[in-house]
Chain A
Amino acid sequence: MLLGRNSRRYALFLVCCRFHGMKQFDGQALSWTIKDRVIELALHREPCNEIGSQCLEELEQFTAALPDLEQSAHSLILFSTLDCGFCAGADLRELYRRSQEMKKNDAIAGVRNFLERIHQVMNTLDASPLPTIAAVHGIVFGGGLELALTCDLIIADKTARFCFPELRLGLIPGFGGIPRLKRDLGNAVVRDLLLTGRSFNANKAQQIGLVSQVVGEGEALRVARATAAQMGKFDRNTTAAAKKFIKPIPYDDFRQEIEIFCELFSQPAVEAGLKKFVESANAQPYLP
């Protein structure tokens, strides 16, 4: 997570995107394609789509290709092909391993760099002029929930379970989660989710306004496609204008979030929390 990108490979990729387009991609962490004028971004990195350096790099490739993809599509759907769920959040094992290999200040700088990059990805998704849908099931934790929160709609199958467990590691969500939650939900609900670190099911998520539709097990992607088809009937400029009006992006709060995260990351409690998580033989390491 803390290593920089492979800059030559990335630059080459950008050139390819610019001059040849990138309508389809099949990577180690994710794939994308356009189907029926809908961009479908599928996460598929075992064990549960943890967001580490590989996933980040491929997300950056996706957002670099997105402006071109948007010309050929009317909507975007994010989903996971893994049984475990949508995404378990940041790759804590990679974070711990790499931070152990570095001096403290270098580790903090590496974390800051990772956060800046993932924020850029999240903000690009958030600001897409197309309607966006996260079709989720199973685990939607931490950074996975933050990724879903960039979307205009979250459609959850009834197995979905949501959680912000970061506080038990001595951290706050770092991928823009709190500002986006504050934008979308009431502050009392946000405090409950953050300060207890508890997980909650799809019905509860719908009750608090996080999820727009709860569907049967295995049905989220099908319903997302139907919803995308409906949204695709409208004039794209009108949709883009409506989105811009009703979904402001809280950039100032994001800056503050990164500062708070880095400050907390420098505390000994975080290293201890990560160590405990990574080395835990406890059968319940995910429970707050």
Chain B
Amino acid sequence: MQTQQKTLDEVLDLAAVQFKVPRQSLSPDDDFFKKLGIDSLQALSLLTRLEQHFNIELPDYEMQGVSDFRTLAERIQTRL
């Protein structure tokens, strides 16, 4: 199983690619809705990409209230 740090790094990499922002502009504790300027539908597109990348299923109700990359990575880590 990969480390939580590696999961977090990959989440940040994927978010940067998905929303076309420089990777170095994203930090683990950023509110991704605000930082990326995305709405809930766009957040679901990120969720889809994360599920594919990590080969997991992450029910979106587990994402309720999650808005920072670190917590998102923690939720993913529990499914790896």
Interface residues of A (CB under 8 A from B): 48, 84-85, 88, 138-139, 158-161, 163, 196-204, 282-288
Contacts and interface: CB of A to CB of B under 8 A. Distances in A.
Given A196-B61, A201-B52, A283-B67, A161 B40 contact: no
Contacts of A160: 48
Contacts of A85: 41
A138 B52 CA distance: 14
B40 A285 contact: yes
B64 A287 contact: yes
Which of B43, B45, B60 has the largest count of A CB atoms less than 10 A from its CB?
Answer: B60
Contacts of B64: 284, 287
Given A283-B67, A287-B61, A288-B61, A199 B44 contact: yes
27 contacts: A84-B41, A85-B41, A88-B41, A138-B41, A158-B52, A159-B48, A160-B48, A196-B59, A197-B61, A199-B44, A199-B47, A201-B52, A201-B57, A202-B48, A203-B51, A283-B33, A283-B40, A284-B33, A284-B43, A284-B64, A285-B40, A286-B41, A286-B44, A287-B40, A287-B43, A287-B63, A288-B60
Determine the main DSSP class of A at the interface with B: loop
Contacts of A197: 61
B61 A201 contact: no
Contacts, number: 61
Interface residues of B, number: 19
Nearest to B31: A283
Interface string B15-39: 0000000000000000001000011
Nearest to B52: A158
A147 B33 CA distance: 30
B52 A161 contact: no
B57 A286 contact: no
A201 B51 contact: yes
A85 B41 CA distance: 10
A288 to B, nearest CB: 6
